[in-house]
């Protein structure tokens, strides 16, 4: 049985939503709220205004230029040609951490160049406007003046590849006139290069990461790689055991010494980094990811539309926030013995954006609501506040929907704050869902009972 939480309630397993949040859901830029877009642009402005010693944008741009042939597999440099997708996955990770240092709710969105194909698209005119970037940041563009964006047949061709070597390097299913003679039809030449050429300006040069659009493009490529990996019997296999820059001896102005990264260890971005891409209005948290808090505490998974939490865990001593503007569905495989906040609604509320304390009233319901739930052996104490005098029923359910204990019913409880106790199975451990019914009002809260 699944549990679905809608925007009629915001449920917290703990009382405090900590300020150092960071999220792991990358969404199409068209799915971002206006506040998210403003916050994203503000974070980039802060990075561009960094001091020279802390200018991660320029550092990554310079690095890309200096190591261009090693990073891009179209160049004939032996084993290093295999690191194109893995290198960009790590560069996205590093830049994302830099942006989250400015605003911890941020992730890098992706640009779907199959759909948003016009040079007058909002991506270039209002979200990350060409004119503003050219004048304020010294980023040059010449959008749509040369080349063309990838077409759907190229995607079908690459997704049909059944071997990593074919997907990552050679694939003969496309040829003239679909692909220029003399070039290998691989993911870099079919998708990465054409988009940069179409963008023009800095994007068409080896300094491309100076333009924030570069990372939206890289995120789309990363999403594409993850989708290929998700197909049956697909498996990336690299002939190298470390990556250019991410080799344990390079220092980032944001993260310090960067980890030595075996590309085979990050072929699943969900497991390696807790990074999830949206699809069809849903973000699915799955694939056996365990929250680590290695760089983010709590880890924040936010999306204004549907979130499904399945094979995903918050271990003891770790913390995470899952926040949807509309709905969270909990499915089998989801587990938490750590600190977890489930929040539905108020997606752009100032309190949530500041990371302040929500107390434990059910946001979205306003007051009254459930204020606190605690247990002592076989007794469960539920504190709540009523807006009017009504009969009250308290029920508790396990994560799979089974009722726990005997429902407590009280007639005509006056308005105001109350604390009632009910019998409860002393052996129960895990997530419970408390439901207080007061007349026509229903208040719900998720709690971790150890």
List the Cα angle 73/77/79 in 5-degree steps: 75
What does the radius of gyration of the chain's CA atoms come to, in whole angstroms? 25
pLDDT mean over 116-136:
86
For the cut 70, the answer to whether the pLDDT of residue 17 exceeds it is no
Question: Do residues 222 and 269 make contact, with C-beta atoms less than 8 angstroms apart?
Answer: yes
Q: Given pLDDT bands bounded at 50, 70 and 90, which one contains residue 2?
A: very low
Alpha carbons 122 and 164: distance in angstroms, whole number: 35
DSSP H/E element including 210: none
Residue 179: CB partners within 8 Å, gap ≥ 6?
A: 185, 189, 190
Q: Which residue has the higher pLDDT, 189 or 35?
A: 35
What are the backbone dihedrals phi and psi of residue 126, each rounded to the nearest 5 degrees, phi first? Answer: -135, -40
* Angle of the 34-48 helix axis to the 84-102 helix axis, nearest 10: 100
For the cut 70, the answer to whether the pLDDT of residue 75 exceeds it is no
Residue 87, sorted as left (phi over 0), alpha (psi -120 to 50) or beta, turns out to be: alpha
State residue 114's pLDDT score: 87
Alpha carbons 3 and 13: distance in angstroms, whole number: 15
CA dihedral 341, 344, 349, 351 (to 10 degrees): -20
Domain edges within the chain: 28-252, 369-449
State residue 62's pLDDT score: 94
CA dihedral 138, 30, 295, 89 (to 10 degrees): -70
What percent of the chain stands above pLDDT 70? 80
For the cut 60, the answer to whether the pLDDT of residue 234 exceeds it is yes
Pairing between strand 306-309 and 327-330? Answer: parallel
Alpha carbons 256 and 74: distance in angstroms, whole number: 30
pLDDT in tens, 260-304: 999 999 999 999 999 999 999 999 999 989 999 988 889 999 999
* Angle of the 56-66 helix axis to the 84-102 helix axis, nearest 10: 170
First-to-last alpha carbon distance for the chain, in angstroms, is: 22
State residue 292's pLDDT score: 92
This prediction has a pTM of 0.74
Residue 340: CB partners within 8 Å, gap ≥ 6?
A: 13, 14, 314, 319, 320, 321, 322, 448
What are the backbone dihedrals phi and psi of residue 380, each rounded to the nearest 5 degrees, phi first? Answer: -110, 130
Pairing between strand 256-257 and 306-309? Answer: unpaired
Q: Which two tokens stand for residue 243?
A: 């990556």
Alpha carbons 36 and 125: distance in angstroms, whole number: 17
113-117, 245-249, 285-289, 441-445: least confident range: 441-445
369-449 maps to which CATH number? 2.60.40.1930
So what's the architecture of 28-252 in CATH?
Answer: Orthogonal Bundle (1.10)
Alpha carbons 399 and 330: distance in angstroms, whole number: 8
DSSP letters, 349-401, are -HHHHHT---TTS-TTT-SSEEEEEEEETTEEEEEEEESS-EEEEEEEEETTS
């Amino acid at each position: 049985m699944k549990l679905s939480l809608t925007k009629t309630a915001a449920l917290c397993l703990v009382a405090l939503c900590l300020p150092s949040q960071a999220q792991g859901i990358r969404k199409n830029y068209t799915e971002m709220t206006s506040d998210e877009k403003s916050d994203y642009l503000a974070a980039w402005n802060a990075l561009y205004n960094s001091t020279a010693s802390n200018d991660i944008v320029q550092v990554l741009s310079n690095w890309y230029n200096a190591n261009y042939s090693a990073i891009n597999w179209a160049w004939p440099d032996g084993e290093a040609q295999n690191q194109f997708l893995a290198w960009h996955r790590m560069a996205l990770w590093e830049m994302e951490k830099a942006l989250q240092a400015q605003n911890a709710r941020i992730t890098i969105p992706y640009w779907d160049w199959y759909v948003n194909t016009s040079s007058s698209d909002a991506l270039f005119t209002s979200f990350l406007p060409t004119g503003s970037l050219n004048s304020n940041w010294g980023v040059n563009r010449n959008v749509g003046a040369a080349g063309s964006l990838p077409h759907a047949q190229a995607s079908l061709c690459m997704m049909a590849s059944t071997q990593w070597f074919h997907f990552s390097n050679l694939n003969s299913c496309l040829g003239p006139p679909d692909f220029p003679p003399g070039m290998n039809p691989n993911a870099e030449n079919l998708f990465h290069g054409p988009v940069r050429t179409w963008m023009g300006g800095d994007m068409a040069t080896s300094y491309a990461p100076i333009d924030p659009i570069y990372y939206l493009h890289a995120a789309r490529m990363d999403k594409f790689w993850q989708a290929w990996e998700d197909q049956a019997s697909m498996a990336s296999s690299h002939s190298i055991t470390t990556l250019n820059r991410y080799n344990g001896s390079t220092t980032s102005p944001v993260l310090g010494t960067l980890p030595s990264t075996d590309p085979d260890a990050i072929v699943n971005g969900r497991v390696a980094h807790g990074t999830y891409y949206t699809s069809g209005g849903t973000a699915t948290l799955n694939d056996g990811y365990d929250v680590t808090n290695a760089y983010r505490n709590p880890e924040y998974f936010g999306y204004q539309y549907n979130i499904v939490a399945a094979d995903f865990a918050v271990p003891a001593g770790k913390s995470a926030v899952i926040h949807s503007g509309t709905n969270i569905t909990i499915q089998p495989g989801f587990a938490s013995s750590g600190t977890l906040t489930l929040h539905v609604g108020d997606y752009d509320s100032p309190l949530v954006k500041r990371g302040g304390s929500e107390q434990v009233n059910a946001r979205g319901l306003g007051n009254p609501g459930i204020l606190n739930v605690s247990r002592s052996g076989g007794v469960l104490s539920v504190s709540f506040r009523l807006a009017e005098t009504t009969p009250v029923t308290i029920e508790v359910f396990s994560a799979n929907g089974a009722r726990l204990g005997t429902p407590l019913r009280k007639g005509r409880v006056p308005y105001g704050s109350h604390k009632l106790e009910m019998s409860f199975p002393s052996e129960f451990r895990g997530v419970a869902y408390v439901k207080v019914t007061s007349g026509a009002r229903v208040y719900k809260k998720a709690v971790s009972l150890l």
